[in-house]
Amino acid sequence: LAPQTSSFVAESFSELENSQAISTDLPQTPQQSIHLMPRKLFHSSVSESSMAVPISDKRRQKKTPPTAKEMKLREKLVIARRTIHRLNMQIARASRRPRTLASASEIMSSAGTFLPPLTHKLFCAQVKMSKISKYGRKWSSAVKDFSLSIYYHSPRTYRFLRKMLALPSVTTLKRYHNRISLNTGVHNHI
């Protein structure tokens, strides 16, 4: 068993020496590879620059953090792009709108042709009062009478309608009701 192991060790040792010799013959850098090339290659038409493998600069360069000035300019660029987008959207919306807009008075007068008188008065009141603050609204007696009749039929319904429509407040209706002098008999006002 000893002669076999000694021969095995000797073979392994010789293989190890051969591998070290081979590794010393291998070039370590591209410059060493040029020096180890045969002479025929230098006299051929292939140049050193064509043999070199290009390495991209993007992989080698590390990104440096942006400076304060660059950050400010990027912020300005983002703001400018947003402004451009917003203005383009306004232009697109404006082109989709009808060219001539009817005024509120034109709408109210044209609505009178197909609405009953009481409904027309309520519609006109809604158009007028939609733009006025709730503290500056002046109600016509027709709208107050209509609102008072709804309130007497169902206060809950009146409160519900008041959330959706511009109607006089309950206090206004009570004040309006108290100003009317009521006596026994038939009243022409009511």
Q: Report which of residues 113 and 12 the model is more confident about.
A: 113
How far apart CA 125 and CA 140 sit, in angstroms, is 8
pTM above 0.75, yes or no: no
Q: Where are the chain's structural domains?
A: 6-51, 118-179
CA 91: distance to chain centroid? 18
Q: What number is the average pLDDT over the span 98-120?
A: 82
Answer yes or no: is pLDDT of 77 > 90.
Answer: yes
For 137-180, the pLDDT digits (tens) are: 888 888 898 899 999 999 999 999 999 988 999 999 999 988 87
CA 82: distance to chain centroid? 10
pLDDT at position 31 is: 53
Which amino acid appears at position 110 of this protein? S
For 19-39, the pLDDT digits (tens) are: 554 545 555 555 555 555 555
Q: Whole-angstrom distance between the N-terminal and C-terminal Cα of the chain?
A: 134
